[in-house]
């Protein structure tokens, strides 16, 4: 590595960052280091590196609710980013989320000698448990605000909800309801807050708030009720699965989307573009979220200090389920 640093004209630390795919390296510097690596035929000896650094090159990833699209794709994003950075990944999925199961999983990772832990458990009580656990390795939690003990990374759920409301308001909608996710989910609560804030900022009233459970069945059931009520002209649905159920319910009830009511989902699942009609929704960049998590973890491994919390911006994807009010 010293030879590579000398040929590339950079520091030993910069070479290490390039080898670990650290995000805080410029494209020009990365190319110069990679060219030096090629010229010298350098190959990292993982076993020798572990002896020198006393690191296992393994990251523990703790997850739950993995049947749901958001948590499962957050996990995949973190796994891919860890592997790109040269780390093996050990995954523990929790069936029941309790203080004891969280502590047991963390203890299991420590027994494995992991270099750091990423937590993707979408319930707010998780963070309180993590703050009471003393570890010798960095902890990064998806959805956490971060502090001296715990680094945090998240997709800006409030901003995603705000994008939805602003889009619907621009189309002339004044009565915008929300079919939310479960209230004990971090992301669901943040989307409710973003919806309420954007409604208030637009000078409107929040007419309908219904708590759902993320399932298409729930969307179908609540959609039939909304079709009978017709007190709103637009519906913000907290995930695409529930939106799918809503669209079927409206179709069966003879409610035309978007002529009679506009519908917006959240997540931008690959199937969303093939719903009938194709679904307007909010996209989350789970690959970028994974990179940010691993970047925080690597920063803390190098510096010993927690980095500032990072936020990934969502993006509104406009398709065919939204139109001007009364169109």
Per-residue pLDDT tens digits for 265-279: 999 999 999 999 999
pTM value is: 0.82
pLDDT at 303 over 90: no
Per-residue pLDDT tens digits for 210-234: 999 999 999 999 999 999 988 899 9
Region of 255 on the Ramachandran plot (φ > 0 left; ψ -120 to 50 alpha; else beta) = beta
The total of other beta-carbon atoms located within 10 Å of residue 318's CB is: 11
In sequence order, what DSSP letters do the residues of 271-318 get, joined into one string? GGGGSSSPPBEEE--HHHHHHHHHHHHHHHHHHSSPPPPEEEPPEEE-
pLDDT at 300 over 70: yes
CATH of segment(s) 2-44 = 1.10.260.40
Q: Which CATH architecture has domain 157-284?
A: 3-Layer(aba) Sandwich (3.40)
- According to DSSP, the residues that pair with 178 across neighbouring strands are 209, 236
pLDDT at 47 over 50: no
- The arithmetic mean of pLDDT across residues 146-169, rounded, is 93
Of residues 75, 91, 157, the one with CA closest to residue 124:
157
- For domain 55-155+287-312, give the CATH superfamily: Response regulator (3.40.50.2300)
Per-residue pLDDT tens digits for 247-264: 999 999 999 999 999 999
% of the chain with per-residue pLDDT over 70: 97
Residue where the block lists tokens 């809503």: 246
Mean pLDDT rounded to a whole number for the chain: 92
User: In the chain, where does DSSP find H-type helix?
Assistant: 2-8, 12-19, 27-40, 46-53, 69-84, 99-112, 125-131, 157-170, 186-201, 216-229, 240-252, 286-303
Of residues 197, 117, 102, the one with CA closest to residue 157:
197
The answer to whether 241 and 181 have CB atoms below 8 angstroms apart is no
If one compares 180 and 8, the residue with the highest pLDDT of the two is 180
Q: Decide whether 2-44 matches 157-284 in CATH topology.
A: no
Structure tokens at 266: 């959240």
In sequence order, what are the residues at sequence separation of 6 or more whose Cβ sits closer than 8 angstroms to the Cβ of residue 138?
115, 116, 117, 151, 296, 297, 300, 301, 306
The total of other beta-carbon atoms located within 10 Å of residue 120's CB is: 29
Of residues 161, 154, 182, 194, the one with CA closest to residue 74:
154
277 burial level (CB within 10 Å; 0-12, 13-18, 19+): middle
Coil, strand or helix at 153: strand
Question: What pLDDT is recorded for position 51?
Answer: 44
| Residue 54 pLDDT class (50, 70, 90 cuts) | low
Coil, strand or helix at 206: coil
Domain ranges of the chain: 2-44, 55-155+287-312, 157-284
């Amino acid at each position: 590595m010293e030879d590579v640093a000398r040929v590339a004209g950079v520091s030993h630390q910069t070479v290490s960052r390039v080898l670990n795919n650290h995000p805080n390296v410029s494209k020009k510097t990365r190319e110069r280091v990679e060219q030096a690596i090629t010229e010298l035929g350098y190959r990292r000896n993982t076993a020798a590196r572990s002896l020198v650094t006393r690191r296992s090159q393994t990251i523990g990833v703790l997850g739950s609710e993995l049947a749901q699209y958001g948590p499962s794709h957050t996990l995949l994003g973190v796994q891919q980013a860890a592997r790109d950075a040269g780390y093996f990944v050990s995954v523990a999925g929790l069936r029941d989320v309790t203080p004891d199961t969280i502590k047991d999983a963390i203890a299991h990772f420590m027994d494995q000698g992991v270099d750091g832990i990423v937590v993707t458990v979408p319930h707010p009580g998780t963070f309180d448990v993590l703050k009471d656990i003393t570890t010798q390795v960095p902890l990064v939690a998806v959805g956490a605000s971060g502090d001296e003990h715990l680094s945090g990374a998240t997709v800006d759920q409030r901003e995603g909800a705000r994008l939805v409301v602003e889009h619907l308001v621009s189309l002339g909608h004044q009565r915008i309801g929300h079919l939310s996710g479960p209230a004990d989910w971090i992301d669901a609560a943040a989307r409710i807050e973003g919806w309420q804030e954007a409604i208030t900022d637009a000078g409107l009233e929040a007419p309908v708030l219904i708590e759902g459970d993320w399932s298409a069945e729930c969307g179908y059931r609540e959609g039939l009720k909304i079709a009978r009520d017709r007190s709103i002209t637009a519906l913000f649905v907290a995930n695409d699965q529930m939106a799918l159920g809503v669209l079927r319910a409206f179709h069966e009830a003879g409610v035309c989307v978007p002529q009679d009511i506009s519908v917006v989902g959240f997540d931008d699942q690959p199937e969303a573009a093939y719903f009938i009609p194709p679904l307007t929704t909010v996209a989350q960049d789970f690959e970028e979220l994974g990179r940010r998590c691993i970047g925080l973890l690597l920063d803390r491994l190098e510096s010993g200090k927690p980095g500032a919390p990072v936020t990934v911006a969502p993006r509104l994807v406009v398709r065919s389920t939204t139109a001007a009010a009364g169109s």
